[in-house]
A = this chain, B = another copy of it.
Amino acid sequence: MTIQMNQSLSVDCAVFGFNGKSLKVLLIERRYYKPDTHLDPLKLPGAMILENETLPEAAYRVLEEATGLKNVYLKQMEIFSDPKRVSGEELEWINRYHGIRSERVVTVGYYALVKLDARTVAYTTAKGAQWVDVDSIQRLAMDHKQILTTALSVLCREMLQSPVAFELLPRKFTIRALQNLYSAVLGIEIDNRNFRKKILASGFLTPTSEKEQGVAHKPAQYYTFNRNAYKKAVKEKLKLGFINNWKY
């Protein structure tokens, strides 16, 4: 057995957004170097790591290029290192596309959460990218479907452990919007009265002076996420899951 050389390292990002109804992921249509290929056209945004660049830097670079956004929630997931994860025609495509000669490409999966506002949607669509409902995705280029699946499971876990939900919502949001997001991503039903009670009791939401307008029911108050209150609470108490919530 020989040590692997002539390999490349890439990053691939599953960029998630929430439109109030369902979870979306950003997909890019790739260009072929020959027209009659049968390779899957849609892929996650990604790039090769450059000299003098760390992996997070590469991921942020990809993300800014794809969305125009700089301060985005971004997190490393796992690394996909199957020696055959890209091979044959796919490897050929990569080498051709990047102008390199690599025998193996190991990729690091990232997942990102963005606020799906009009500006961002305009930017991405102008770039030819598309926001696709995560449930509707059957196949993607290379092993990107697998990366997406991993990202989804990581997102579920994170939603339960930390306040990442707010990364997907606009700055001002209603409690119901937050509830819908949890409900959609986790696929569970939530009692709105208890959810409200729990989330308000946490002290992480600050009410604004604004209310919904033009909705066919009692308009709801808008809140913002109070990150400082959250940080303070984390410091004060260890949060558990397995052996629930002890302080001692």
B108 touches A160 (CB 8 A): no
- Contact size class for A? 35 or more
Contact of A3 among B5, B8, B238 (CB under 8 A): B8
Interface residues in A65-82 by Cβ distance below 8 A to B read: 76, 78-79, 81-82
A132 at the interface (CB under 8 A from B): no
Q: What's the number of copies of this chain in the assembled complex?
A: 2
Per DSSP, are chain A's interface residues mostly helix, strand or loop, or mixed? loop
A241 touches B4 (CB 8 A): no
List residues of chain B with CB within 8 A of the CB of A104: 51
A83 at the interface (CB under 8 A from B): yes
Q: A49, A108, A238, A241 — which one has the most chain B CB atoms within 10 A of its CB?
A: A241
B4 touches A5 (CB 8 A): no
List residues of chain B with CB within 8 A of the CB of A100: 3, 5
List residues of chain B with CB within 8 A of the CB of A216: none
